[in-house]
Amino acid sequence: MIRNPILPGFNPDPSICRVGDEYFVATSTFEWYPGVQIHRSKDLVNWDLACRPLNRPAQLDMRGNPDSGGIWAPCLSYADDRFWLVYTDVKRLDGNFKDAHNYIVTAPSIDGPWSDPIYVCSHGFDPSLFHDDDGRKWFLVLQWNHVSNSVGGHPRHPAFDGILLQEWTETEGLVGEQKNVFSGSMHGLTEGPHLYKRGGWYYLTVAEGGTGYDHAVTMARSRSIGGPYDLHPNTHLITAKDAPDAALQRAGHGQIVETPDGQVYHTHLCSRPLPGRFSPLGRETAIQKCEWRDDDWLYLASGGLVPDVDVPGLADVRPRSPHKVERVFFGNELPEEFQWLRTPFPERLFSLTGSALRLFGRESIGSWYEQALVARRQEHLAYRAETSLTAFEPTTYQQAAGLTTYYNRHKFHLIAVSWNAQLGRCLTILSCAGDWPEGQLSFPAEPIAIGSDPIELAVEVAGARQQFFWRQKSTSNGRWSPFGPELDASVISDEGGRGEHASFTGAFIGMFAFDLTGQGKTADFTRFSYAPEGT
């Protein structure tokens, strides 16, 4: 069986393609760098990170992008002996505009080299590239309507102004007639288009209902690529919007893939919320077994619309068991699970010294420009993370380094080594529990003096509860001690603060340093571990 989600923790908007006997899934990374995660598998059960292809300034620079901006809904395909990756870089969220720029990169292998980007358009977001069997290529994208109060748009959600279709060539870009081919169902918020051709039909799947608890995969078809497109008899192919007790919620936005022997699957994003509907794991990737029926429409093989946790697979393969990941920073490459924020110049934020991960204190926690934060996804609802901070000597309260659970600039908790005029080198907690102005910085614990020795920091998260710990050989005899009160981990989630309509990523855990004096005070971390509950 396939156990969902197949890509746990912040892996939304899954675009899937098959090349030979290998499957590849590309997911959104938003403001986290490098851009786009691509995983690979041969059995649809166990997946490994293949690459993050947008990894240099010519391809992606997100400095100044807002929280939950950046890379939205990539589309991965394979044609003409190349991989094709289409992606959006969203520069603005608030207000009428999105400033969503769409690009294409290609590579002869999933491992690269990936080309410099070709700019396509800025009509809206969620672009897709369809390779027709006659060799022509078609570009699809949501048209965003910034004047929706006066013209056009969907009757329920006017800013969502339908799916545009236009031919695209490598030499000339967009050519020929541009058509608005699908305005969606009455469910509205139509986005995330993908085309699939079978038996003379063009099948269009889109995401609808927003990326919250009304999310859905909607399907339509046409004999002509330019439409008109008729809705599926059930309107939706996959949704949990009417199943509040389903294990996988917020199901929507995915793509069809066919196996070599003709079996059909459909990816989709989902979430596994805590009670109260808080999703610290963000939107994850799942996959469902489907079947074509006599009416030439696709349906879930299990019947109904609600996605399953356990799905029939291709072979007798067991999912890997959760395990502890221990990283010691003795090499010169950052372990693959870690990312940083926005900038294509990581050498300004950190280096691998051969014995430590050295962070250079830059701007404040939550900066949109240069923030020294190196972190990994939270993939389980209960876990423990630890790190060793072996060298950091602050001389002012404007310098700090430590361990953080982080969602965005307004949703984080952190335990930090800093400086206090009365105590000297000290341990403190900073917390922000919601979006501005509701969420403001707080200090849930009185600072304590810790001396100059190396220090180990830890956090335990169990559902909505979070507790920081510390130990220092010179003062604790090697024993871990809790520090500060139990904190609310549910705020480090999609729905925390302003909620699901403004937050699209997921919880991270990692190491940070900031230095508001501009001196770039360094902090050396020698290890980091992440252990799911029970490992």
Q: Which residues are the active-site residues?
A: 370
Given a contact cutoff of 8 angstroms between Cβ atoms, the answer to whether 15 and 25 are in contact is yes
Collapse the DSSP code of 350 into the 3-class scheme (helix H, G, I; strand E, B; otherwise coil) and give the result. Answer: strand
Query: Which of 189, 268, 196, 267 lies closest to 229 in space, CA to CA?
Result: 196
Instruction: Supply the DSSP symbol for 475.
Output: H
Query: Which of 26, 47, 45 lies closest to 314 in space, CA to CA?
Result: 45
CA distance 27 to 11: 5
Cα dihedral 145, 147, 153, 158 in deg (nearest 10) = 100
CA distance 337 to 325: 10
Amino acid at 117: P
Amino acid at 318: R
Collapse the DSSP code of 304 into the 3-class scheme (helix H, G, I; strand E, B; otherwise coil) and give the result. Answer: coil
Based on the number of CB atoms within 10 Å of its own CB, is 297 exposed (0-12), middle (13-18) or buried (19 or more)?
middle
Reported as type and span, the H/E element at residue 473 is helix 473-476
Which residue in this structure is represented by tokens 């786009």? 36
Residue 40 token pair: 């690979």
